[in-house]
Amino acid sequence: MKLINENFIKIPATYLFSEIAKRVNLLQQQEPDAQIIRMGIGDVSLPLPDVSVDAMIKAAEEQRHSTTFRGYGPEQGYDFLRKAICENDYHSRGISMEMDEVFVSDGSKSDTGNIGDIFSSDNKVAITDPSYPVYVDTNAMAGRAGEPGETGAWSNIVYLPCNEANGFVPELPREEVDLIYLCYPNNPTGTTLTHAQLKKWVDYAREKKSIILFDAAYEAFITEENVPHSIYELEGAREVAIEFRSFSKTAGFTGTRCAYTVVPRGLMAYTRNGDAIALNRLWNRRHTTKFNGTSYVVQRAAEATYTPEGKAQVKALIGYYMENARIIREGLLKAGYTIYGGINAPYVWAKAPAGMSSWGYFDYLLKDKHLVTTPGAGFGASGEGFVRFSAFGSREATIAAMKRLE
Amino acid sequence: MKLINENFIKIPATYLFSEIAKRVNLLQQQEPDAQIIRMGIGDVSLPLPDVSVDAMIKAAEEQRHSTTFRGYGPEQGYDFLRKAICENDYHSRGISMEMDEVFVSDGSKSDTGNIGDIFSSDNKVAITDPSYPVYVDTNAMAGRAGEPGETGAWSNIVYLPCNEANGFVPELPREEVDLIYLCYPNNPTGTTLTHAQLKKWVDYAREKKSIILFDAAYEAFITEENVPHSIYELEGAREVAIEFRSFSKTAGFTGTRCAYTVVPRGLMAYTRNGDAIALNRLWNRRHTTKFNGTSYVVQRAAEATYTPEGKAQVKALIGYYMENARIIREGLLKAGYTIYGGINAPYVWAKAPAGMSSWGYFDYLLKDKHLVTTPGAGFGASGEGFVRFSAFGSREATIAAMKRLE
């Protein structure tokens, strides 16, 4: 008799966004004239850069003709894109990187979810709290999370609280952990780690033979000098870290789908007998067995973001959102709120007024100000008492929203 | 200390295509003037249908402007494509199908590989032999295959031999199995099951509470009446089967990437306690947690294949390859070979002359005729003694190849 993977049924359904939608719909019914401004989204609002559209159209035309048609491409991505990635995202920062360490994919959600395939289900996992829910959910599916408790916390996950008390800088775990998820600049808090703060984690991982799964999807939003763009800026990180990068937020590829994952050649994990095995080889095996490459036209669109015009267009996109972030920060500060983030990330993490919960604050902003945010508790226990404001909306809506808070 | 998933290191590296490449390169060095014709490929050679290129260009232009830009789409695929799939691939054949039973993806390789996530690693797996290597390899990664033996067979996989003796129709397994991989029209043999032959499997699965994972990637190549295009043509199949479909071979999407998987609402699997759980819910959870939707422009390209012009263009592509298949069949028969397939599939399965192995026959064709095929043994033990000819080449090359065998 066919059996299911019972880990799946332990995972509670995610009610966060459906609950938000329900409350927004209710308000819209009660107040049909309310001009609701949505600042809860993590999706971009500006269109694709022209260079990417042009490159996609050119590539699509190539697909029309026998002489230029491309069928199956390399599962790991075309050399033209892997080369552009190495040169522009790594070599330009003095980081050595070979093409065969870069695996192009259809998105970081796929990669951060699928990476678990190559690890034993016995590994102990540490995850910052609050966090992007995919890290927890995919480990739960693989049987690494243990059992879910009443508060929503899993018995076998080591949560790394990021809160006001520690300045949103997670402390090293007291128990030994094998896999550590870090996302910086952080979603949802918008905070970052400095070189020195990240170095502690790299050193810990080297000492304990742990792996850091470093999600750098928001790297392009960094404006400050002392914030690492890549974990490989840290000495020794190539021995302990896998890095995830995405074109989604950088270049507006949320609906176009392209990302990449770096697995350095020298990065090892172990068999039960203690034999060191190169993870690059295992991920290559996973990627070539369960994936057939990213769409050719999409890879050309991604490549175009590395041209001089492409870089200028991406910079303009990022600049637009970061000006929104500045407006949100300023508006919230003026209104007397305590806030974090928004300087190196498109998210501002706003503290609920004293005694108010995430959902209470959310409801207040929705009912009194007609603003939709995301309740921080939806990202984990340490998100309680906060909401996330997104800078991905239009300038006009962002300004209007802050006016309402004056 | 971080541990790897040790199942990965049990899987032997796939030398099939690298070994082929090595032998072809060697010949090219020894005989620089040899006009080598490649009939080993499973990739298409004709370009994308015009309708798909036009749709992609239109969609790319939409992505250029704020008013028409699309960010994250539904992970399961846009309704416009799911609707077109339901209507054209199912309703038109009298099969009921709801949109929420169809999950659009980036490819059948991903789907047939990832589907294992929702099943227990304790399920017993049956796989036809020879077969597409992804079925075996992904089950090996998940720990369902047991240990690899010296001959390459895994201790815990139930192989279902498809050979001349049984007319390439697998016999029902003697031991009970939970998951059954069937691919029809078959890759690599090019053979099919009739309605009656497939019915036996559906009945078996209903009786034993097994699941059939039905790979119908080559459905569009069916020319004969009594061959089912979908497993759901069989009564009761909705209770026991998941179906995989792809635009890769049908519409030349091998480099464009779009496929879909059908998980009927009523399809159940069980917990250890015997509770029935809907697999649609589990796959939806997997798909929304580890995947972020197929590229919008690609979904528009796929949708276009269902327009009247699109259908005509796809029909022309299929017709071209099937005429190649006819030429290959005729050529091989004339040359005195025993062959199978090629009537409802773009592959012809040719028997090596008496006493010759797969690789021996491959070498003979390469050295004496300068033809590249794929040795059947590369697809499993029962493929020994055969080679696969692909009809995906150009007409000119196909005709020239058969001339050399006269």
Tell me which amino acid residue A185 is.
P
Q: What is the 3-state secondary structure (H, E, C) of chain B?
A: CCEECCHHHHCCCCCHHHHHHHHHHHHHHHCCCCCCEECCCCCCCCCCCHHHHHHHHHHHHHCCCCCCCCCCCCCCCCHHHHHHHHHHHHHHHCCCCCHHHEEEECCHHHHHHHHHHHECCCCCEEEEECCCHHHHHHHHHCCCCCCECCCCCECCEEEEECCCCCCCCCCCCCCCCCEEEEECCCCCCCCCCCHHHHHHHHHHHHHHCCEEEEECCCHHHCCCCCCCCCHHHCCCHHHCEEEEEECHHHHCCCCCCCEEEECCCCCEEECCCCCEEEHHHHHHHHHHHHCCCCCHHHHHHHHHCCCHHHHHHHHHHHHHHHHHHHHHHHHHHHCCCCEEECCCCCEEEEECCCCCCHHHHHHHHHHHHCEECEEHHHHCHHHCCEEEEECCCCHHHHHHHHHHHC
ipTM of the modeled complex: 0.97
Q: Which two tokens stand for residue B385?
A: 């003694």
Closest CA to A220 of A82, A401, A391, A37: A391
Predicted local confidence at residue B92, as pLDDT: 97
Question: Any CB–CB contact under 8 A between B19 and chain A?
Answer: no
Question: Any CB–CB contact under 8 A between A3 and chain B?
Answer: yes
Distance (Å, whole) CA B63 – CA B69: 4
Predicted local confidence at residue B42, as pLDDT: 87
Average pLDDT over residues B158-169: 98
- pLDDT < 50: residue spans in chain A: none
Q: Helix H segments across A266-335?
A: 279-290, 296-304, 308-334
Q: Which residues contact A170 (CB under 8 A, 6 or more apart)?
A: A128, A160, A161, A162, A182
Contact B286 A57 (CB under 8 A): no
Distance (Å, whole) CA B189 – CA B197: 16
Distance (Å, whole) CA B82 – CA B99: 5
Predicted local confidence at residue A150, as pLDDT: 82
Question: Any CB–CB contact under 8 A between B396 and chain A?
Answer: no
Average pLDDT over residues B192-221: 98
Percent of chain B residues past pLDDT 70, beyond the cut: 100
Which DSSP letter does residue A3 get? Answer: B
Q: Is CATH 3.40.640.10 the right assignment for the domain spanning B54-307? A: yes
Distance (Å, whole) CA B264 – CA A213: 36
Question: Any CB–CB contact under 8 A between B57 and chain A?
Answer: yes
**Which CATH number among 1.25.40.10, 1.20.1440.230, 3.40.50.300, 3.40.640.10 corresponds to the domain A54-306?**
3.40.640.10
Predicted local confidence at residue A91, as pLDDT: 98
Question: Any CB–CB contact under 8 A between B239 and chain A?
Answer: no
Please name the residue that has the structure tokens 């390439």: B168
Distance (Å, whole) CA B15 – CA B38: 18
Mean pLDDT score across all residues of chain B: 96
Q: Coil, strand or helix: which one is A115?
A: helix
Closest CA to A111 of A287, A280, A267, A229: A287
Predicted local confidence at residue A221, as pLDDT: 98
- CA distances to A2, A120, B278, B388 from B281, rounded to whole Å, are 16, 26, 6, 39
A29: burial class by Cβ within 10 Å (0-12, 13-18, 19+)?
exposed
Chain B 122-181, residues with CB within 8 Å of chain A CB atoms? 122-123, 134, 137-138, 141, 178-179
Question: Any CB–CB contact under 8 A between B345 and chain A?
Answer: no
Confidence of residue B302 (pLDDT cuts 50, 70, 90): very high
Q: pLDDT by residue (tens digit) across B193-204?
A: 999 999 999 999
Look at residue B13 and tell me whether its pLDDT is greater than 80.
no
Instruction: Give the chain A residue nearest B117 (alpha carbons).
Output: A5
Average pLDDT over residues B370-376: 97
Average pLDDT over residues B229-258: 98
Predicted local confidence at residue A1, as pLDDT: 80
Look at residue B166 and tell me whether its pLDDT is greater than 90.
yes
Predicted local confidence at residue A16, as pLDDT: 84
Look at residue B278 and tell me whether its pLDDT is greater than 90.
yes
What are the domain boundaries of chain B?
7-47+309-405, 54-307
Contact B287, B76 (CB under 8 A): yes
Chain A 70-129, residues with CB within 8 Å of chain B CB atoms? 70-73, 106-107, 109-110, 113-114, 117-123
User: From the centroid of its chain, how far is CA B57?
Assistant: 28
Average pLDDT over residues B115-128: 97
Q: How close does chain B come to A233, measured CA to CA in Å?
A: 22
Top-level class of domain A7-47+309-405: alpha beta
Percent of chain B residues past pLDDT 90, beyond the cut: 95
Predicted local confidence at residue B55, as pLDDT: 98
Chain A 36-55, residues with CB within 8 Å of chain B CB atoms? 43-48, 50, 52-53
Phi/psi at A262 (5° precision): -105, 125
DSSP lists the bridge partners of residue A182 as A214
Distance (Å, whole) CA B286 – CA A186: 24
Chain B 271-300, residues with CB within 8 Å of chain A CB atoms? 271-272, 277, 279, 282, 285-286, 289-298
Say which residue, A164 or B151, is predicted with more confidence. Answer: A164
Q: How close does chain A come to B215, measured CA to CA in Å?
A: 15
Please name the residue that has the structure tokens 């009443």: A150
B47, B118, B289 member nearest A137 (Cβ)? B289
Mean pLDDT score across all residues of chain A: 96
Confidence of residue B41 (pLDDT cuts 50, 70, 90): confident
Q: Which two tokens stand for residue B43?
A: 């990739």
